[in-house]
Homo-oligomer: A and B are copies of this chain.
Amino acid sequence: MLTWLNHIAIAVPDLSKAAAQYKSLGANVSDPKDLPEHGVTVVFVTIPNTKIELMHPLGQGSPIEAFLERNPSGGIHHLCFEVAEIGEAADKLRDIGVRVLGDGTPKLGAHDKPVLFAHPKDFQGALVEFEQI
C-alpha cells in the first residue's frame, strides 16, 4: 500500500536560512511558494529519491504555529507516504486501530491530491500523511 515516500516536512523558523543551508549542501532548492489555504509558505528541497518540504507559517492561525512555539529551532513535522487509493488507506488504518485526524475523510492536500493524516498517538508518535497519487 505504501508505494513511495513523497516527502518529509520540516517546520523552520527562518525559511531563507534553511533554504540556503540545503543549497550549500548541493540540493536542488525551489523558490518559496505561499500556500494561503494551508497557512504555510514552503520551499521544496529535491534530492534524488525524495523531497524535503521546508515549511514556515503564513498568516494567522497557521497549523504549524503551535509546533514552532513548542520547537523554536524548528523540527521534523511529518512524513508523507504515497498510496494508490486514499479510501483503501483510510479503511486499512481504521482496521488496525489507527484514528484518522479530523472527521476521518480525505481532504485536498497541499499538492491538490486527496490526503489524510494518521493520529500520531496511534502511530508511533509520528505525524504521517497519506497522499493519493
A interface, CB within 8 angstroms of B: 1-5, 8, 10-13, 18, 20-22, 24-27, 47-50, 54, 71-76, 79, 81, 89, 92, 95-96, 98, 120-121, 123-127
Q: Are A50 and B49 in contact (CB under 8 A)?
A: yes
Chain B contacts of A49 at CB under 8 A?
4-5, 49-50
Number of copies: 2
How far apart sit A20 and B92, CA to CA, in the bound complex (Å)? Answer: 13
Q: Are B2 and A47 in contact (CB under 8 A)?
A: yes
**Lowest 10 CB-CB distances: which A-B pairs, in order?**
A74-B125, A73-B125, A1-B26, A75-B125, A74-B124, A49-B49, A12-B124, A76-B76, A24-B96, A76-B126
| Residue in B4, B54, B95, B124 whose beta carbon sits within 8 Å of that of A48 in the complex | B4
Q: Are B73 and A120 in contact (CB under 8 A)?
A: yes
**Most chain B C-beta atoms within 10 Å of own C-beta, residue among A5, A8, A12, A18:** A5
Among residues of B, the one whose C-beta sits closest to the C-beta of A12 is B124
Chain B contacts of A125 at CB under 8 A?
10-13, 71-76
